[in-house]
Amino acid sequence: MIRRVAAIAIVVVLAACPPVAAAAEQSLEAIRDSAVTWLKQNRTLPGARMVAEADPLDSRLRLAACAAPLEVSVPGNRPISARVSVVVHCPAPGGWTARVPVRVHMFTDVLVTTRPLARGDGLGADDLRAEERDIASLAYGYVASLDQVGGRALVRPLNAGTVLTPGMLAGRQAVRVGDAVSMEASVDGVMIRADGVAMGAGDTGARVKVRNASSGKILDAVVSGPGSVAVLP
């Protein structure tokens, strides 16, 4: 009888005690949202439109609810590409750090060729048009403004519809292919000038071939300035 009363008392005591609350967990969805929101607010280029989607985190991941605002960053301040690893950190005591893979698309206008172009061609407004492209997927970069191509020539031929990249452009050209140039040559100490046509392109100091407009003879020369070359002996 005594044992029975004691057992009933234990049951009553246990029933009277409130259940132990489970530790609050951090929402994985909130972690993903914070990574996407931070990217859109801090890494979208002026005039561009970003579309970002975080990959699902491992559902087995259990993190304590963070008592402080989450801190978000991209390691090394790397340029934004199509796949970005975003670090989300809980700065509270005993906090945690999670890495969130995010797929990124960033759309803005870039310059695209309007027609086939040859190596050495200079570029003008008629050769290029602006089109919206996903620059996050352009591994070799892009050119956004005609100001970036003025006075420069192509280092290789391009098909129509090609996105122009910085690596496709040579240095600024003082002389371009087909330009009329003034040729200067020193013969026995006497400076002789003649009209010619550039067969190559380059900035001051570059070596190019030129054709004498009168004789048709092909000569080696060095670019001495805009529209002028010094014929080599």
Give me the residue spans of the domains in the chain: 28-106, 108-170, 180-231
| Pick from 27-36, 45-54, 134-143, 171-180: least confident | 171-180
Give the closest residue to 172 by CA, choosing from 132, 107, 223.
Answer: 223
Residues 6 or more apart whose Cβ sits within 8 Å of residue 63: 25, 26, 28, 31, 90, 96, 98
Averaged pLDDT, 195-214: 86
Domain 180-231 CATH class label: mainly beta
Structure tokens at 93: 């005591």
Architecture in CATH for domain 108-170: Alpha-Beta Complex (3.90)
- pTM for the predicted model, two decimal places: 0.64
Nearest residue to 185 via CA among 150, 215, 148:
215
Residue 58 Cα distances to 12, 53, 54, 98, 110, angstroms: 42, 16, 12, 11, 37
pLDDT band for position 22 (50/70/90)? low
- Residue of 118, 132, 42, 24 lying closest to 80 (CA atoms): 42
Q: How far apart (Å, rounded) are the C-alpha atoms in residues 152 and 214? A: 28
Q: Judge contact between 153 and 177, C-beta under 8 A.
A: yes
pLDDT of residue 13: 41
